[in-house]
Amino acid sequence: MKPILLLPFLLCLGLGVQAEEAPVLEAIQEYLDFAEYADGAITPEQLASLEDSNILFVDVRDAERYRAGHIPGAINIEWRQILERREEIPAGRPVVLYCDTGLASSRSYLILRLAGRENLKVLRGGYLMWKKRQKAR
């Protein structure tokens, strides 16, 4: 792994990386300059129009929450393992990351984007919103 890819995560986690690390800040600023407000987000309603598009769902919650309930066909990669297990996530098909609410999946999204992945979306509202929508059907 390239050391430059690890530095943004350390910044995000507040582990004492100096703000003067210009390459890290430049990489983050470059992303911010072009990212749209809802960059990478998809709603449960939008998912309905994509159901036949070979989406891979990645549940980034812990294994216990995954076992308690998940989107059918989803694989489980806890958000803390997303970088080391990124090869399990194909680059050639749409991928939707989700957790309970969207917080951990947003972290996973940023990590994978900084690692060069572009085929990703975060499920806005997470599993809880998806489950609520399924009950309403």
How far is Cα 30 from Cα 43, in angstroms, rounded to an integer?
26
DSSP count for the chain of H helices, then E strands: 6, 5
Catalytic residue selected from 99, 104, 111, 123: 99
What is the Cα Rg of the chain in Å? 16
The CA distances from residue 85 to 73, 80, 81, 112, 122, in Å, are 18, 10, 6, 10, 18
Q: Is residue 12 annotated as a catalytic residue, yes or no?
A: no
How far is Cα 43 from Cα 46, in angstroms, rounded to an integer?
5
Please give the angle made by the CA atoms of 28, 122 and 79, to the nearest 5 degrees: 75
Among all residues, which ones are annotated catalytic?
99
